[in-house]
Amino acid sequence: MMLRNLALACLLAFGATACNPTLDTEPAEELGTTTGAAAVTRLYSAIGDNELSFETLGTFEERNGERVLVLRATSNRYLENVFSFVPDDIFGETNIISERRFEVVLREGHELNTVLSGLPLFISVDTFTGTPNRYYARIVVAPRFFDFRGSSALFIDEKVDPVYVRNGADVLVYRGKVDVAASALSVTAPDGVPVVSPVDADTFRLDWQYPAVYQAVDPHTVPLTFSATLADGTTAQKTARLVARVTELAVTDGDPYEVWPSDVCPLAVYNCIHSQPAGTTDFGVCGAYREVSRCMYATTCDLIPPQPLSLTQLDASSLEPARVAWNAGSGAYSWSVINTINAYSTPQCPAAPVTLQALWQQFSDMGLYLPDFEWGQVTDRGGLTFGGDTRGAALMSALDDFAGTGPIQAWMGSNEIPCHNCHAFEDFTLLYYPNTRKVLLLVGESGYDS
């Protein structure tokens, strides 16, 4: 808390008042919400008796030989000072342009790409009157389609979202979507044309990297044209403009770093990333670009507190055909069968390393009569044969398909059980797959005639 306050104090020390009155007329205001949609032209948010509003549509201008995005805001109180920043760093430029109006200016390139990719922009606002007379705003700026004109056969999703896609050194892609039952879709424009890919029979994906998405939004007056070849061979066409739009606005008089923390990896996003097949490069299904970025190199224990060892039972019914097939190879006078295969998962972040002996204790605590751990045999994947023939290989393959490949820690033990004119044993095979945190317990019987 003290470090954050110190960082804010340093930023405030560099904030400067800028006064550049203009003769522009005040834009017409209409009731909006704190989340922008294509039809909303202004967003509002209030704290105490202060109200702040932002025009949702950003405009591009030439200033000092640079292309910049200008975002305009209005306060209901006279402004003393404003400045924009991201965590611990002044970012962009702010100018007071009349007593109650200011603008935020983002330069094309790093500043614009950073904000469009989902990084919220914070704005410190000082007013001469009102309570509180210092507060902070948080805005989100994103590419958005609007001004749709043409065939209703095409539905162009308003949203264009930043997603994480590995493509050499660049992992940021801006992604949109078009719904149309068509065999082909093309997009044309003077520049800023996306890469179009079919997703299914009536969905197409639009992908831009930053240079192309910038060309598409500047100038926002030039539309993109969408042409689809429909199932009956006819062509449907629609146009839409892509703009940089303020989509979220919030205000607080608290510490903005505590109110709006930015370094959190959502557990659902982390789990989605790690559930993707090996070699996956496109993580768009897992969440927004910045969420995935924060989770990509996180560990489970960064996200959840350590948990004591426990076993959560899983549905192992898919292993039943493999169990039955393995039992079919058992002999009449010398036999070995598996009666049950049960599956479990261990905590995502165990408080202590998971060991075979600790797992053995969990099953003992469940009331299972196991031989002493020391009487059993500890081995690894190389020591698991299940018969050492085609029958055993098929069972091992089924177990791996269920629990995952990679290393296995194994313990095997037996208890002798009564058998008339024969020797028989109740057999236990405990398998732990560290990579997937899954545990399998195979309980069976083996024996031979005397």
Is 251 contained in some domain? no
The answer to whether the pTM exceeds 0.75 is no
pLDDT of 423 reads 77
What whole-number distance in Å separates Cα of residue 276 and Cα of residue 180? 28
Same domain membership, residue 170 and residue 35:
no
Same domain membership, residue 163 and residue 260:
yes
Same domain membership, residue 133 and residue 24:
yes
Is 437 contained in some domain? yes
Same domain membership, residue 285 and residue 153:
yes
Domains identified in the chain, total number: 3
The strand pairing partners of 105, in sequence order, are 70, 93
Mean pLDDT by 10 residues, the chain (450 residues): 42 39 32 47 95 96 95 97 91 96 97 96 95 95 96 96 91 97 96 96 96 95 95 94 96 94 86 93 96 90 89 96 88 82 95 96 93 94 78 89 94 85 86 96 86
The strand pairing partners of 337, in sequence order, are 445
Same domain membership, residue 438 and residue 293:
no
Same domain membership, residue 351 and residue 271:
no
Strand locations in 357-408 (E): 377-380
pLDDT of 38 reads 59
Same domain membership, residue 445 and residue 341:
yes
What whole-number distance in Å separates Cα of residue 327 and Cα of residue 342? 16
The last residue of one of the domains, among 142, 166, 188, is: 142
Strands 377-380 and 334-345: unpaired
* Structural domain boundaries enclosing 134: 2-142
SS3 category, 410: strand
Query: What residues have CB less than 8 Å from 405, skipping those under 6 apart?
Result: 435
Same domain membership, residue 170 and residue 277:
yes
Is 32 contained in some domain? yes
Same domain membership, residue 156 and residue 49:
no
Same domain membership, residue 231 and residue 100:
no
pLDDT of 304 reads 84
Extract long-range pairs of 417-426: CB within 8 Å, 24+ residues apart: 417/445, 419/447, 421/449, 421/450, 422/447, 422/448, 422/449, 422/450, 423/447, 423/448, 423/450
